[in-house]
Amino acid sequence: MAWLTTEQINEMGFAKIGDNVFLSDKASYYNCQNIRIGNHVRIDDFCVLSAGEGGIDIGNYIHIAVFSSLIGAGNISLADFSNISSRVAIYSSNDDYSGDFMTNPMIPAEFTNVQHGDVNIGRHVIIGSGSIILPNVILEEGVAVGALSLIRKNCEAFGIYSGSPAKRISERQRGLLALEKMFLNR
């Protein structure tokens, strides 16, 4: 995997770039002026970050794995220590599939009914491979989402969610909170 140089990153016009940031040169970044990236962030090959008016906010110590996408007009925020596994799609905009409206971005807005809404990914959230997160969703601190899950509703702290649509299937351990303190105090 080849990383963009600091000079290349600075030329892209991001709203904010932290330290120790690794951005793949094979990923796509759109509307960089609406993307804020914290410290210790890695974005792998073939990811797509397409920031709308709401922007994309990426905290500290975050990994976005290969083939993932963050797309839409609403804000997408990833809090510290969150992890996006491969092929995850996070949408802050979504077409109306009812058949009462036309779909796709090439159709004027007067003929569509696109829903826009913020997506907030909390601290220590991990989203399993192939999962989809839809607009107007909050994944509270410590949530774990199983692979191939569809998240349409908010997920409460330290729950493990799985399925399509996802349901809370169990509790997640909180030992990572003590490890975070040890890590930050080293």
pLDDT grade, residue 1 (50/70/90)?
confident
51: Cβ contacts below 8 Å, ≥ 6 apart: 30, 31, 32, 34, 35, 70, 76
Structure tokens at 70: 């963050």
Q: What share of the chain is helix, strand, coil (3-state, %, to 5)?
A: 10, 35, 50
Four-CA torsion 85, 45, 21, 175, nearest 10 degrees: 10
Residue type, 31: N
Amino acid at 4: L
Quickly state the pLDDT bin for 81 (edges 50, 70, 90): very high
* Residue 139 in this model has a pLDDT that exceeds 90: yes
Are the beta carbons of 64 and 44 closer than 8 angstroms?
yes
Q: 182 φ, ψ to 5°?
A: -60, -45
Residue 11 CB neighbours (<10 A): 11
At 99, list the tokens.
């058949």
Tokens 């036309």: give the residue: 102
User: How many beta carbons lie within 10 A of that of residue 25, not counting itself?
Assistant: 11
Locate the domains of the chain by residue range. 6-184
d(CA 171, CA 156): 10
Could you give phi then psi for residue 137, rounded to 5 degrees?
-125, 140
Residue 70 confidence (pLDDT) above 90: yes
Identify the three-state secondary structure at position 8.
helix
CATH number (3.40.50.1370, 2.160.10.10, 2.120.10.30, 3.10.20.740) of 6-184 reads 2.160.10.10
**pTM over the 0.95 mark:** yes
Position 103 scores a pLDDT of 97
Read off the pLDDT of each residue in 15-39 and give the average, rounded to a whole number: 98
Mean pLDDT of the chain: 98
